């Protein structure tokens, strides 16, 4: 019997929540799946798979989606364990430098 490791379970859960997040953000932006697929240069079928949590998108795909949704990638991929879609703060490089120096 195959058992999933803790890391595999976490990755599957994150993929599911990321897909939900993409779907909600797309809907709030007033875009159809086809429109977002066209803007991000991915197939509509792949986007559907991602939204259902079945795809494991590369960084390139995530950057394409974030660009098409006019948001930083950090905001796109920020998924909370509570399964709620929230606006995630984006820390600027300046704030990171101050945090590291302080």
Residue 47 covered by a domain: yes
Residue 96 covered by a domain: yes
- How many folded domains does the chain comprise? 1
Element (H, E) at 26: helix 6-28
Domain limits for position 48: 6-101
**Six-digit token pair at 76?**
């796109």
Task: Please give the span between the terminal C-alpha atoms of the chain, in angstroms, as a whole number.
Answer: 50
Residue 26 covered by a domain: yes
What are the tens digits of pLDDT across the range 82-92? 545 455 654 44
- Highest-scoring range by mean pLDDT, 3-7, 9-13, 58-62, 97-101: 58-62
Residue 90 covered by a domain: yes
> Is the separation of the CB atoms in 42 and 64 below 8 Å?
yes
Residue 96 pLDDT: 37
Residue 1 covered by a domain: no
Query: What percentage of the chain exceeds 70 in pLDDT?
Result: 75
Residue 21 covered by a domain: yes
| Least confident stretch, 42-46, 50-54, 59-63, 73-77 | 73-77
pTM of the model: 0.74
Residue 56 covered by a domain: yes
CATH code assigned at 96: 1.10.260.40
């Amino acid at each position: 019997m195959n058992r999933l490791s803790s890391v595999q379970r976490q990755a599957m859960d994150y993929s599911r929540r990321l897909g939900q997040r993409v779907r909600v953000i797309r809907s709030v932006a007033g875009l159809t799946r086809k429109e977002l697929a066209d803007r991000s240069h991915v197939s509509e079928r792949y986007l559907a798979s991602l939204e259902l949590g079945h795809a494991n998108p590369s960084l390139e795909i995530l950057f394409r989606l974030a660009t098409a949704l006019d948001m930083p990638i950090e905001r796109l991929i920020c998924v909370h364990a509570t399964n709620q879609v929230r606006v995630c703060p984006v820390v600027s490089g300046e704030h990171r430098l101050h945090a590291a120096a302080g």
